[in-house]
Chains A and B, each alone.
Chain A
Amino acid sequence: MSGRRVREPLAGAACRARDTNALANKGRGVYDDWIAALNGRGGLLGAHFFPACTEPGAQYAARSRPGAGGKPLDARYAGVKLRKSEGFDADQDGVADIGRLAQGTHVFEEKPDGYLKARAFSPVMVETAERDSDGDGWFTPADRSRIDTRHAGKSMLIHHGGAMNAATVNTWSAGCQTIPDDHYRAFLALMGRPTPFPYVLVNTR
């Protein structure tokens, strides 16, 4: 008699442990959130937690672009080295606004050819993002036209980010959910090869 096949209908849960200002760590992002792989390999009904970043770093904000004299266009972004300007101009003030995945339930699936030489997960549907339209680094109701239901598309992946034990930690997140290089293999091992799975993102304070 064959044993009952243990499926791996995984779920991911992310706890945005606290809001992180996009300017923190000189705009390179901070691993101060947690992603849990639920019901991992072998159907252990367990929850394994991994450090994660669920918010973008200001290194992708147009406001950190150098202006005259090499200073950033927005003085609040002094000390941030622009990587590449990303985002969507939600409030139509002429400056693209970085975005983060909105809290709620999302559905992810295996990204067929991975990302950055590793497995990754992509959203099944167009995602809703929050935009930091006032550029203060926070995502709050003070941001005009904060809720953006279109322009993130399916671009906010779950992928690996820079290692936590690196001399300079960089989360590589412009809005993606990233887990550090030095924890990512363990995360993937626990995720198994899931079919589309729910990913529940909760903001906590």
Chain B
Amino acid sequence: MMPTRFLCSAAALAVLVLCGCGAQAFAPAAAERPAAAGDARCAFGAFVQEDDPAGLNVRDAPGVSGAVLGTLPPTLHGVGEFKMDVRIEVEVSGARGGWFHVAHAQDNDALTGRPARPVYEGEGWVSGRKLTVKSQATAGRAAPGMKSEALARFDDGGAFDGDEMVAAGHLVGCQGGWAQVEFADAALPAPLRKRLTVKPAARAGLPSGTFRIWLDQVCGVQETTCDGLADDDPGRH
């Protein structure tokens, strides 16, 4: 005779499976969270860089096979007197294999001056190729941490928060408050490239014309700056 406890468990499993099928058919399942041993954990604000009018898919798992939970609208170009680019803002909390766990997406009606566009505000995964950051750091490093070697700097001591740097980069990794960003030389305007010195180590093992650096002082606000200690402040680490 089958033990009662097992029967109950089997019944519960059947209900769960049925509910699971129903959920997939009628409503998206909850997103997986970064939990695997190899998953990176981080916390900073990033911007969605998407020009597909259909928007960016947010999925329930990292990878294109994940179910689509919702979408995030594309970048608005040419906004306002100075033709700004306005991107959807998200909070990043983890990464796996080039995909990033995001939540709390919002449009920036302060910048657009029009009602916020509907966004999927829940948790989910998006490709790092569609995420960028604005960093107020003045050095891009080999690894997350102020003691790590500086691999990229502007000759005039400038920060990585300019419009061109934001537009030219995409996320490839993260750890804590640090973002690993890949840049394509071709996407950087010539005057900016002239000011930027990148050591060969930042290009090692990458396709020609690209480099990767770690940046902190990530500011998730588009329309203004964030507080931040200077690079030589002993409080930075």
A residues contacting B by CB (< 8 A) are 28, 59-60, 83-84, 86-88, 99, 111-118, 126, 129, 150-157, 159-163, 166-168, 170, 172-176, 178, 181-182, 184-185
Check B225 against A174 for contact (C-beta < 8 Å). Answer: yes
- Of B81, B111, B192, B233, which is in contact with the most chain A CB atoms at under 10 Å from its CB? B81
Known contacts A166-B113, A185-B81; A114/B227 CB under 8 A? no
B residues contacting A by CB (< 8 A) are 45, 80-85, 89, 108, 110-111, 113, 136, 154, 156, 158, 161-165, 192, 195, 220-230, 233, 235
How many angstroms from the CA of A152 to the CA of B235 in the assembled complex?
13
How many angstroms from the CA of A87 to the CA of B113 in the assembled complex?
24
Measured between beta carbons, the chain B residues less than 8 angstroms from A84 are 45, 89, 220-221
- Other A-B contacts than A118-B82, A150-B233, 15 sampled, CB-CB below 8 A, are A28-B110, A59-B110, A84-B89, A112-B154, A112-B158, A113-B162, A114-B162, A117-B163, A155-B225, A155-B226, A155-B228, A161-B223, A163-B113, A172-B110, A174-B225
Measured between beta carbons, the chain B residues less than 8 angstroms from A161 are 223
Measured between C-beta atoms, what is the minimum distance from B46 to chain A in Å?
12
Check B82 against A117 for contact (C-beta < 8 Å). Answer: yes
Check A117 against B110 for contact (C-beta < 8 Å). Answer: no
How many angstroms from the CA of A94 to the CA of B82 in the assembled complex?
38
Closest to B108 in A: A83
Measured between beta carbons, the chain B residues less than 8 angstroms from A154 are 230
Check B226 against A86 for contact (C-beta < 8 Å). Answer: yes
Known contacts A86-B221, A150-B233; A116/B82 CB under 8 A? yes
Measured between beta carbons, the chain A residues less than 8 angstroms from B113 are 162-163, 166-168, 170
Check B235 against A150 for contact (C-beta < 8 Å). Answer: yes
Check A151 against B220 for contact (C-beta < 8 Å). Answer: no
Known contacts A153-B228, A181-B82; A115/B156 CB under 8 A? no
Q: Which of B85, B156, B220 contacts A117 (CB 8 A)?
A: B85
Check A126 against B221 for contact (C-beta < 8 Å). Answer: no
How many angstroms from the CA of A166 to the CA of B84 in the assembled complex?
16
Q: Which 8 pairs, one residue from A and one from B, show the smallest C-beta to C-beta distance?
A: A113-B162, A172-B223, A181-B81, A117-B82, A155-B225, A118-B82, A84-B221, A153-B228
Listed A/B pairs (8) with beta-carbon separation below 8 Å: A84-B45, A152-B228, A153-B227, A153-B230, A172-B223, A173-B224, A176-B225, A182-B81
Closest to A99 in B: B227
Known contacts A60-B221, A83-B221, A181-B80; A113/B158 CB under 8 A? yes
